[in-house]
Amino acid sequence: MNNCLPINIAGEWRDGRGEEYATTYPATGEEVARLRAASVEDVQEAIEHAHHAFLQSDWARRLPHQRADVLYRVAHLIRERAEELAQLQRQDNGKPISETRALVASAAGTFQFFGAACETLEDIITPSRGEYVSMSVHEPMGVVAAITPWNSPIASDAQKLAPALAAGNAVILKPAEVTPLLSLELARICEQAGLPKGLVSVLPGKGSVIGDVVTRHPLVKRVSFTGGTSTGKHIAAIAASKMMPVSMELGGKSATMVLEDADLDHAVAGVLFGIFSSSGESCIAGSRLFVARRIYDEFIQRLVAGAQALRVGDPAAESTQMGPLITASHRDRIERYVAMGVEEGGSIRTGGVRPSGGVFERGWFYTPTIIEGLSNQARIAQEEIFGPVLVAMPFDDEESLIEQANDSVYALAAGVWSRDFKRAWRIGREVQAGTVWINTYKQFSIATPFGGWRDSGLGREKGRQGIFQYMEQKSMYWGTNEQPLAWACIQGGKQ
Ligand code: NAD
């Protein structure tokens, strides 16, 4: 009997022709689903079919408000199935249920937002310099690819699918191998909402095999990628060779700065949330902490107490704040980083171990960890760990603070905690990062652009402008001359 979960290739729900594999629940290691990955041939078939669907279906030619209707229906269906999807997302990557509910709500909001962006999009008439009307309009690109990581699948898929579809494109969605379940459900929901068949394919499998084929395919006109920086650079190099635009949401090593006049209750809560929510498996995790030397000892003491009080455990429990890590091998990698921090001269103030007993015996759990005694040059202060590990450092003055905060190949996000609004503003403007939070952290609005500088990325997602990532711009000139163009005319106006 075939127990494999079908995947969506070229509008058909069937087994892939790649390897059979199982996804597991990170809290217990138990199998959640078994599926056959997409093969290289499946990828080619899906892309060709998507190209055909883009040309033959009326999707790109539908009036914007008609496309928006489908996106609104997707938002509605996500909301109708919210609890089921949140539970599935929990099983897919082990995030606590309170977090997966928020991710599902945000995915619905994303489809609604881009529905509205689609039906209110305006092309512009530009000032003309002759006898014509000049316009700047936007066209869909054709087949675009969305490649997403495992840490927040439903939200990162929605962030790409919604604007790409709103813009009139066909989409090849390549989820992370270990977390395909929500992406497949999203494809079902799109189908149910009335999206033409074959316009979205979902291709689970190894990135190095099928992701590469997606990126290189000549019919793929854009890749929107979220994932690690080294994978992003690899994809960007392929894109350069075929002159294809890309957008890159990559890694981070974000600095959180606590000034001596900060409201410490707010700052402690914000720093804990910034690094330990999502078990630190978050691109924007505030993983480097700089605290004014005068308050350093008191602040770290309070932070350590806060970290020790966090409820780590069963992601299904309503009160759980930190679930397991995604895989055993990812936990091993985090442990290697912590050991490296100790070898580099750091001392562990709290955490640095696997919790034991009961629920902890089966899943990939790790305790919230705070390390101090290192400089910003230490490897664990420079490299992305993508886990619940915070490197804490004191700072002496504003100049050295900004210098250290900016001393990183990453520049995704930063946080400033201070009651002095002028100083917080000044530091916020000096810090190089795609997003700066002042007296808050990890807050998001779909209406606000998001992205990174330097090794943290290229381009911006979200915001009304996010839809333009998936469109080509075209200038149109419409002649209004009463007479033929002068150049071709002989003197006196006759040819
Ligand atoms: P990853 O780079 O290993 O994988 C991301 C996706 O790329 C997966 O779907 C994977 O299968 C695919 N992939 C891998 N090799 C590929 C190739 N050669 N060609 C095409 N696709 C390929 O990243 P990950 O481990 O899944 O996710 C963690 C990383 O993602 C972290 O670095 C994190 O900071 C980053 N991230 C960034 C953001 C952001 O918005 N900036 C958000 C979430 C995660």
Residue 373 sits at φ, ψ, to 5 deg, of 85, 10
Smallest CA separation from ligand 1 atom 42, residue: 283
Q: Pick the atom of ligand 1 nearest to 251's CA.
A: 34
Sign of CA dihedral 317, 330, 250, 405: positive
Smallest CA separation from ligand 1 atom 31, residue: 228
Predicted local confidence at residue 489, as pLDDT: 77
Q: What is the CATH number of the domain that holds 356?
A: 3.40.309.10
Q: Is residue 452 part of a domain?
A: no
Domain shared by 184 and 285, yes or no: no
Residues within 6 Å of ligand 1 by CB: 147-151, 174-177, 207-208, 211-212, 215, 226-228, 231, 234-235, 249-252, 283, 384, 386, 412, 452, 457
Q: Is residue 127 part of a domain?
A: yes
96 is written with which tokens?
Answer: 């606590």
Cβ count near 127 (within 10 Å):
5
From first to last of its 495 residues, the chain has per-residue pLDDT tens of 468 999 999 999 999 999 999 999 999 999 999 999 999 999 999 999 999 999 999 999 999 999 999 999 999 999 999 999 999 999 999 999 999 999 999 999 999 999 999 999 999 999 999 999 999 999 999 999 999 999 999 999 999 999 999 999 999 999 999 999 999 999 999 999 999 999 999 999 999 999 999 999 999 999 999 999 999 999 999 999 999 999 999 999 999 999 999 999 999 999 999 999 999 999 999 999 999 999 999 999 999 999 999 999 999 999 999 999 999 999 999 999 999 999 999 999 999 999 999 999 999 999 999 999 999 999 999 999 999 999 999 999 999 999 999 999 999 999 999 999 999 999 999 999 999 999 999 999 999 999 999 999 999 999 999 999 999 999 999 999 999 998 887 665 554
- Compute the distance from residue 229 Cα to the ligand 1 centre, in Å: 8
Q: Is residue 412 part of a domain?
A: yes
Which of 43, 147, 230 should be mutated for ligand 1, with most atoms under 8 A from CB?
Answer: 147
Predicted local confidence at residue 494, as pLDDT: 53
Domain shared by 191 and 317, yes or no: no
Domain shared by 359 and 242, yes or no: no
Residue 341 in contact with residue 355, Cβ under 8 Å?
no
Measured distance CA(157)–CA(174) in Å, rounded: 9
Q: Is residue 395 part of a domain?
A: yes
Measured distance CA(162)–CA(410) in Å, rounded: 27
Domain shared by 161 and 263, yes or no: no
Smallest CA separation from ligand 1 atom 22, residue: 207
Q: Is residue 447 part of a domain?
A: no
Domain shared by 240 and 153, yes or no: yes
Which of 151, 206, 217, 275 should be mutated for ligand 1, with most atoms under 8 A from CB?
Answer: 151
Predicted local confidence at residue 175, as pLDDT: 98
Closest CA to 204 of 33, 89, 76, 452: 33
Domain shared by 155 and 257, yes or no: no
- Compute the distance from residue 476 Cα to the ligand 1 centre, in Å: 38
Does residue 357 sit in helix, strand or coil? Answer: coil
Catalytically active residues are 249
Burial 93-124 (b: 16+ CB within 10 A, else e): bbbbbbbbbbbbbbbbbbbbbbbbbbbebeee
Domain shared by 243 and 258, yes or no: no
Cross-strand bridge partners of residue 171: 144, 200
Q: Is residue 131 part of a domain?
A: yes
Domain shared by 154 and 38, yes or no: yes
Smallest CA separation from ligand 1 atom 21, residue: 211
Domain shared by 187 and 279, yes or no: no
Domain shared by 288 and 414, yes or no: yes
Q: What is the CATH number of the domain that holds 229?
A: 3.40.605.10
Q: How many domains does the chain have?
A: 2
Residue 334 structural domain = 253-436
Domain shared by 319 and 306, yes or no: yes
Q: Is residue 487 part of a domain?
A: no
- Compute the distance from residue 178 Cα to the ligand 1 centre, in Å: 12
Q: Is residue 445 part of a domain?
A: no
SS (H, E, C) 46-108: HHHHHHHHHHHCCCCCCCHHHHHHHHHHHHHHHHHCHHHHHHHHHHHHCCCHHHHHHHHHHHH
Helix H segments across 167-258?
A: 181-192, 212-216, 229-241
Which amino acid belongs to residue 436? V
Domain shared by 231 and 316, yes or no: no
